[in-house]
Amino acid sequence: MSASIIRVVALVSAVLILGAAASTVTITLPPDNVQYKPGPGADLATANCATCHSAAYIYTQPPLNRKQWTAEVVKMQKAYGAPVADSDISAIVDYLLIQNGRP
């Protein structure tokens, strides 16, 4: 390999490394002050739901009925791969109904 090719490769490598370093972005997320409120099923909601999103998600949704909350939990499980056991769905839905539900 000739010296000029080595210089070009070294120069291109340096530009790529410096460019990558210059493009690093740092962000600061807002604090997560919302907690899962105590109640039956809070431990399941924390263990299964907090993996992907904050508790605020429950309280910023419009109040949902049992059928709607069940559909949401099943969607999280099936479409998004949430680690929710089938046997826990009912208890999680009961908790969600108490926290932000409607008849």
Domain ranges of the chain: 42-100
> Which CATH number among 1.10.1740.10, 2.60.40.10, 1.10.760.10, 2.40.50.100 corresponds to the domain 42-100?
1.10.760.10
Tens digits of residue pLDDT in 40-96? 999 999 999 988 888 998 989 899 999 999 999 999 999 999 999 999 999 999 999
For the chain, the 3-state helix, strand and coil shares in percent, each to the nearest 5, are 60, 0, 40
SS3 state at 64: strand
Whether the predicted pLDDT of 24 surpasses 80: no
SS3 state at 101: strand
Question: What is the pLDDT at residue 19?
Answer: 64
